[in-house]
Structure 1
Amino acid sequence: MFIVCANVLLIVIICMNRSLHEPMYLFLCSLFVNELYGSTGLFPFLLLQILSDIHTVSTSFCFLQIFCVYSYGAHVEFFTLGVMSYDRYLAICYPLEYNKHMTSSKVAILTAFVWLYSVLATVVMMSLSAPLQLCGNTIQKVYCDNFSIVKLACSDTSVNNIYGLVYMFTIIVSLISFILFSYLKILKVCFSGSKQTRQKAVSTCTPHLASLINFSFGVFFEIVQGRFDMSSVPIMLRIFLSLYWLTCQPLFNPVLYGLKMSKIRIICKSLSFGRRI
């Protein structure tokens, strides 16, 4: 309920206030939409399972959940954070040319690319996993994920493994490198600029960095669980770690951006004051 209310509130605030129709806030709006989308891929069915004590899922629904979870976390979330780092890089390192480079059409193109590419990449991944012949039907998680399906397969999974490795080393590593490059350039400007420049850079970049670190922390545990034997780790801890990247990010982002972004904070305060009146 908190994820839905907080993200919907921030989406409405950004959409209804023309003063927030800037690239940074539009990318944030896309991020909040993604938090809602990712949460709907996990929580409704998880709550149904808890309330009804159901521990089975159909194959079609399992793959639907895989599509939602992976397009949310592995693609849209990660790529949106990358686009936001590029936006902050232009705003801080090239402030006089920012409006020239980050136009409304470019914002629309970048946002559309993130979502369309994420859908396409997830469909390709699922098209490789769907034909696999499975020799088991038990997933040691509270939701379906692609690597668990691949581990259950008794047919050849070399294509799946090659695709995963190529994707990781070509797309993920290059995107991480680009994000690190952007923030290193931003830090260089911060240390060489005036006190006012440093304060502005810190106030705008801190939420992005905190969100990126939190997301990376959760994804790291998810990768470790998928690639290594975790049987010695207590099952409850494994469940918590597998849910971390899907629950903490949608909870963390609205609070972080709502408190740290001054324009959003001011509008939220004015709305609260209006309700009290």
Structure 2
Amino acid sequence: MNQTVLHSTVFFTVYGPPGPLNYAAFFLTFLLFFITIFTNISLMLVIYLESHLHKPMYIFLFNLAVNGLIGCLSVCPKIMDNLVNDIKGISHKGCLLQVFFSSVYASCAYVILAVMAYDRYVSICKPLQYHSIMTPSKVKMLVALVYFIPITMLAFQIFITSRLPVCSYNINKLFCDNLAVVKLSCVESALSNLYGICMIASLVVLPFVLVVLSYIKILLVCLKVSKESRNKAFNTCAPHLITFINFSTAILFSFVYNRHSTVSKEVNVLISVLFILFPPLVHPIIYGIRTKEIRTCITKIIRTRIFPNSLDFPHLKSERKLVPIMTLDGTAAGQGLPV
């Protein structure tokens, strides 16, 4: 290997040589990756095909699924490649791209969850004003901000990191993250550290606080309403709350993971799966199970588009009417034929 290739390649030291353990990890990663892609695309198709799901909550959910695909595709293919190949490496530019897209996944997901919490707050605390507040133009603006702010901030972070001189080329992790790439540098970067703190405050702490405040407001309102209204509010918020707790747990483990480079191989695999695969895998499942409208739409699509003549779902069929059979003299002769 020539010096040019050596000095432009970052190597992952946590992977072992190809063998039964690596092949088993490859199979498991591929299986989880495939299921994650399938569930997110399925959720996106359900929301896209059913016009009555074109509401703010489901539009934000659609973007959460898109974001999950970004996270999986940015990391998993390279992890699977490294598991079965002798050379466990990636170009320095490729490493920076991996940092960028995996960071977009993490930050945009948190911002989307904050926007969804705001939508739930308006829906429950200001139901009569909901349609005047969550207008189509405002929803479009929120979706644009969900991507524009994190992507702009992350692009500047990657620019700062790319300007640092590189002295080391080994990362003891399954994939690249910004802190690991910064540690490859010969020098300490005060600007990079300060900007990283600002990003965490803006894209993690602030969305977290907004979600917590939204649910405090929702809780205070629920305490004043009837038990039936309270149960309805809980059923509306439960999928989002479970998703938020799940992703917050993944983010917490990721922070611990990023600041401890000398962890065991097993911990590396566990944290990587928890951060990259677990949230995008369970989010569509949570919403599919807990949201009645999505369950109904999935059943309807299976019945009408996939197996139109094979499956029978009586609760989706309209009640058949009986047309009376008339005799020649105009009188009814019986119950008639179903139509």
When the two structures are superposed, what TM-score results if normalisation uses the length of structure 2?
Answer: 0.78
Q: Would you say 1:102 and 2:124 are equivalent positions?
A: no
SS at match of 1:134: coil
Q: How does 1:213-224 map to 2 (within 5 A)?
A: 213-224=245-256
Q: How does 1:237-248 map to 2 (within 5 A)?
A: 237-248=267-278
CA shift, 1:230, in A, is: 6.0
Runs of 4+ off more than 6 Å = none
Judge which range, 15-24 or 233-242, deviates more: 233-242
Q: Of the candidates 89, 99, 109, which is equivalent to residue 66 of structure 1?
A: 99
Q: Is the 8 A contact 2:79 2:174 kept in 1?
A: yes
SS at match of 1:152: coil
Matched residues in 1 for 2:196 and 2:204: separation? 10
SS at match of 2:101: helix
- Amino acid of the residue matched to residue 263 of structure 1? E
Q: Of the candidates 264, 282, 304, which is equivalent to residue 252 of structure 1?
A: 282
SS at match of 2:90: coil
Q: Deviations over 1:169-206 (max 9, x none)?
A: 34532222111100011111122211221112111111
Q: Would you say 1:263 and 2:296 are equivalent positions?
A: no
Aligned residues: CA RMSD: 1.5
Q: How does 1:113-152 map to 2 (within 5 A)?
A: 113-152=145-184
Q: Deviations over 1:92-140 (max 9, x none)?
A: 0000000000011111110011111121111011011001112211111
Matched residues in 2 for 1:51 and 1:18: separation? 44
CA shift, 1:166, in A, is: 2.3
Q: Would you say 1:77 and 2:109 are equivalent positions?
A: yes
Q: Would you say 1:173 and 2:205 are equivalent positions?
A: yes
Matched residues in 2 for 1:29 and 1:60: separation? 30
- Paired residues, number: 274
Q: Is the 8 A contact 1:222 1:241 kept in 2?
A: yes
Q: Is the 8 A contact 2:117 2:240 kept in 1?
A: yes
Structure (1 or 2) with the larger CA radius of gyration: 2
Matched residues in 1 for 2:182 and 2:192: separation? 8
* Distance change >3 Å, CA 40–CA 203, structure 1 → 2: same
- Amino acid of the residue matched to residue 98 of structure 1? Y
Matched residues in 1 for 2:123 and 2:116: separation? 10
Alignment partner, residue 57 of structure 2: 24
Q: Is the 8 A contact 2:153 2:199 kept in 1?
A: no
Judge which range, 48-57 or 185-194, deviates more: 48-57
- Amino acid of the residue matched to residue 154 of structure 1? C
Judge which range, 6-15 or 186-195, deviates more: 186-195
- Amino acid of the residue matched to residue 269 of structure 1? T
Q: Of the candidates 178, 182, 189, which is equivalent to residue 157 of structure 1?
A: 189
SS at match of 1:42: helix
Alignment partner, residue 264 of structure 2: 234
Alignment partner, residue 54 of structure 1: 87
More helix, by proportion: 1
- Amino acid of the residue matched to residue 170 of structure 2? T
Matched residues in 1 for 2:53 and 2:192: separation? 43
Q: Would you say 1:9 and 2:42 are equivalent positions?
A: yes
Matched residues in 1 for 2:252 and 2:195: separation? 19
Q: Would you say 1:204 and 2:233 are equivalent positions?
A: no
SS at match of 2:165: coil
Matched residues in 1 for 2:222 and 2:64: separation? 26
Matched residues in 1 for 2:181 and 2:261: separation? 17
Q: Would you say 1:43 and 2:76 are equivalent positions?
A: yes
- Percent identity reads 34
Unaligned runs of at least 5 residues, structure 2: 1-33, 312-339
CA shift, 1:13, in A, is: 0.9
When the two structures are superposed, what TM-score results if normalisation uses the length of structure 1?
Answer: 0.94
CA shift, 1:54, in A, is: 3.2
SS at match of 2:188: coil
Matched residues in 1 for 2:190 and 2:66: separation? 35
Q: Is the 8 A contact 1:66 1:144 kept in 2?
A: yes
Judge which range, 265-274 or 91-100, deviates more: 265-274
Q: Is the 8 A contact 1:85 1:179 kept in 2?
A: yes
Q: Of the candidates 168, 175, 183, which is equivalent to residue 215 of structure 2?
A: 183
Q: Is the 8 A contact 1:46 1:142 kept in 2?
A: yes
Q: Is the 8 A contact 1:221 1:242 kept in 2?
A: no
